[in-house]
Amino acid sequence: GQQLNQSPQSMFIQEGEDVSMNCTSSSIFNTWLWYKQDPGEGPVLLIALYKAGELTSNGRLTAQFGITRKDSFLNISASIPSDVGIYFCAGPHANDYKLSFGAGTTVTVRA
Amino acid sequence: GAGVSQSPSNKVTEKGKDVELRCDPISGHTALYWYRQRLGQGLEFLIYFQGNSAPDKSGLPSDRFSAERTGESVSTLTIQRTQQEDSAVYLCASSLESINTGELFFGEGSRLTVL
């Protein structure tokens, strides 16, 4: 299947810091998605990207769809305690409906 | 309810027993997915239902796994003769149709522990 590689695997950050994580693939994706999973919950969609080069913001979150269509990054600005969780990148297989997920980046915020 | 509902939220079972997990999708969502999430790992696709079409079972890891869906409503995932490696959180998700926008709505999951 199409594999998504996320980095870093985990991070400890100070409250107020900016956070950056990325996702790469050996295959081209036409859509990049970023989900967040809070402890004990299912993942929730944060940002969806549909066009190469697209830069999209949602509050303190900013995500970009790489020009090569093989990568994407997610930035969180001025982190707060509720940013704790696991962030997954995901993308649908070409002409398909199944989402492939990365292994996730676990974010822990130190107050 | 307004969201995807899964039950049980936690299930502890002995190796070799059968388990059944239930998912109640958002009303009106025709597409339903089951994913498996092992500890510290990403989500692994298991099976997909879309309306009355034949389900895509390509992600089921063995013939011990099966799933059914009644029309466009409740789905059950059955694991027969459970093994310890089946321990995971089983997540159900639904969407209005096949993924166009990419937004799947997930339930809180059913955590399965096989002793």
Tell me what pLDDT residue B97 has: 67
**Per residue in A86-103, pLDDT tens?**
999 998 866 667 788 999
Q: CA–CA separation, B95 vs B49, rounded Å? A: 10
Tell me what pLDDT residue B71 has: 80
- Select the residue from B43, B90, B98, B103 to test the A interface by mutation, using most A Cβ atoms within 10 A: B43
Is A48 in contact with B101 (Cβ distance < 8 A)?
yes
CA distance B17 to chain A (A): 25
Residues of A in contact with B41 (CB under 8 A): 103-104
**Per residue in A26-79, pLDDT tens?**
888 888 999 999 988 999 999 999 999 999 999 999 999 999 999 999 999 999
Tokens of A8: 């870093």
Q: CA–CA separation, B7 vs B110, rounded Å? A: 6
B53 touches chain A (CB under 8 A): no
Tell me what pLDDT residue B24 has: 96
- Would you say how long chain A is, in residues? 111
Tokens of B44: 């692994």
Give residues with Cβ within 8 angstroms of B46, minimum separation 6. Answer: B33, B34, B35, B36, B59, B60, B61, B65, B67, B77, B90
Q: CA–CA separation, B17 vs B61, rounded Å? A: 17
Tell me what pLDDT residue B6 has: 97
> Does A19 have pLDDT greater than 90?
yes
Tell me what pLDDT residue A41 has: 92
Tell me what pLDDT residue B99 has: 55
Tell me what pLDDT residue B32 has: 93
CB A21 within 8 A of CB A105: yes
Q: CA–CA separation, A92 vs A77, rounded Å? A: 27
Tell me what pLDDT residue A100 has: 87
Q: CA–CA separation, B44 vs A16, rounded Å? A: 33
E-strand spans in A1-111?
4-7, 10-14, 19-25, 32-37, 44-49, 55-58, 61-65, 71-76, 85-92, 99-101, 105-110
Is A48 in contact with B109 (Cβ distance < 8 A)?
no
- Amino acid, single-letter form, for residue A42: G
> Does A110 have pLDDT greater than 70?
yes
Residue A14 Cα distances to A6, A17, A57, A107, B104, angstroms: 21, 6, 22, 11, 31
Ranges of residues in chain B with a pLDDT under 50 are none
CB contacts < 8 Å between A and B, how many? 62
CA distance B3 to chain A (A): 11
A90 touches chain B (CB under 8 A): yes
Q: CB B103: neighbour CB atoms within 10 A?
A: 14
